[in-house]
Amino acid sequence: MTDSSGGAGDPPRRSARAQPGTIRIGQIAGVDVLVRSSWIFVAAFLAVLYAPTIENVRPGLGGWAYVAGLAFAVLLYLTVLLHEASHALMAQHYGMPVRSITLHFLGGVTEMDGEPDTPGREFGVSVVGPLTSLGVGLVFLGLTRVAGDDLIGLAVEGLAWSNLVIGVINLVPGLPLDGGRVLRSAVWKATGNPHRGTIVAGWGGRVCAGLVLAYPFVLAATGLRPGVSTYAFSVIIAAFLWSGASQSILSARVRRRLPSLQARRLARRTVAVPHDLPLAEAVRRAREEQAGSIVVLDSSGLPTGIVNEAAVAATPEDRMPWMPVSSVSRTVEPGVALAADLAGEPLIRAMQQAPATEYLLLDDDGRIYGVLVTDDVDRAFAAGAHGPG
């Protein structure tokens, strides 16, 4: 199973590109391709599952039948990679940055910075993956006529039906599957509300999870005897669908409140001081003016640093008169200076792109408006996530 994901419905923290247990195997169109260690288990499972069939086609292979099964698993995941690469290339076509493509136990995921800004682009990025799998499946299905009845023919037939199944399953209208994002785009187009689309598609995913979980019991009720592996896989896939759908619903409910995160409203009043002013005097001025932050100016009067609150708290008071305020400040780099009018998802994305504890807020004319502290945004975000509605 595959899905494409991304968005700003998370607290202002940048996630690591490669998680523990993940290795980078290359790039496609400048996008890192990662493989999680869990893939080894599914590859081994496919090798064991496929080995008896291979032995029937080519008797006497012995242990090489398992090697052939492993080779099939690699080929299958290369076609999954084509599915994910199509998501990435379509997203790049629309100007969306793509973080990575990751292959894992249940398929793959394409991680993007942000989400499509129109229902049409959402539809395009989402539907291209299943269509790619269906196209690959049809190509291999056509090749079965000339592939013969040996191992190559067996592999071609297996890749044909596997990709057709992957394409059809991923069109199921429930998040986190691609079909769920297609449904989201349709509801978004009809209602003009992307968050409502996410909630509808999330509930679609929950319904799908329930159906998957019930599948082996339905088989048993009809007189068939599903094996232990059928029950196990139904539980694993149902848990995957339910978890992804639930996370999407929660994210949508939180993101409906993101417009309340306004840089101006959350900004702390600031006092601007020369870079060589003693820290004790800078702190005194801030307290006198009831300012919650201190900005350091260079000799020409331009802001060059923001005093770090934690560094001030860790400095003994008897040393403050002898330390320049610049010694406990962070340099104002381009990503740390933000427009004071930022709000909602653009504000979260700006903070994700340049992680910091404090940000300098500037008005349109370049004047200092105040300082935005990440902890203040986190608290406001948490209050929105757990608030009413």
Residue 384 banded pLDDT, cuts 50, 70, 90: low
pLDDT of residue 88: 95
Q: Is the pLDDT of residue 257 over 50?
A: yes
Residue 13 banded pLDDT, cuts 50, 70, 90: very low
Q: Which residues, 6+ apart, have CB-to-CB distance to 377 below 8 Å? A: 12, 261, 266, 347, 351
- Lowest average pLDDT, out of 51-60, 269-278, 379-388, goes to 379-388
pLDDT of residue 12: 36
pLDDT of residue 11: 35
What average pLDDT does the segment 358-380 reach? 90
Q: Is the pLDDT of residue 388 over 50?
A: no
Contact in structure between 216 and 147 (CB atoms under 8 Å) = no
Using a 10 angstrom Cβ sphere, with 0-12 exposed, 13-18 middle and 19 or more buried, the burial of residue 386 is exposed
**Residue in 68, 176, 177 with CA at minimum distance from that of residue 133:** 177
Note the pLDDT tens digit of each residue in 100-154: 999 987 788 999 887 888 999 999 999 999 999 999 999 999 998 888 778 888 8
pLDDT of residue 59: 79
Contact in structure between 35 and 203 (CB atoms under 8 Å) = no
Contact in structure between 239 and 212 (CB atoms under 8 Å) = no
3.60.10.10, 2.120.10.80, 3.10.580.10, 3.90.45.10: CATH of 263-385: 3.10.580.10
Residue 210 banded pLDDT, cuts 50, 70, 90: very high
CA 19 from centroid of its chain's CA atoms: 12
pLDDT of residue 28: 93
**Residue in 283, 301, 305 with CA at minimum distance from that of residue 292:** 283
Q: Is the pLDDT of residue 279 over 80?
A: yes
Q: Map out the domains of the chain as residue ranges.
A: 2-260, 263-385
Residue 1 banded pLDDT, cuts 50, 70, 90: low
What average pLDDT does the segment 29-56 reach? 85
Residue 10 banded pLDDT, cuts 50, 70, 90: very low
What average pLDDT does the segment 318-333 reach? 90
pLDDT of residue 167: 95
CA distance 313 to 311: 5
Residue 37 banded pLDDT, cuts 50, 70, 90: confident
pLDDT of residue 185: 96
pLDDT of residue 346: 84
Three-class secondary structure of residue 361 per DSSP: strand
Tokens representing residue 53 in the block: 């069939």
Tokens representing residue 217 in the block: 């019991």
Whole-number average pLDDT of the chain: 86
Q: Is the pLDDT of residue 225 over 50?
A: yes
pLDDT of residue 70: 87
Proportion of the chain above pLDDT 70, given as a percent: 93
CA distance 196 to 193: 5
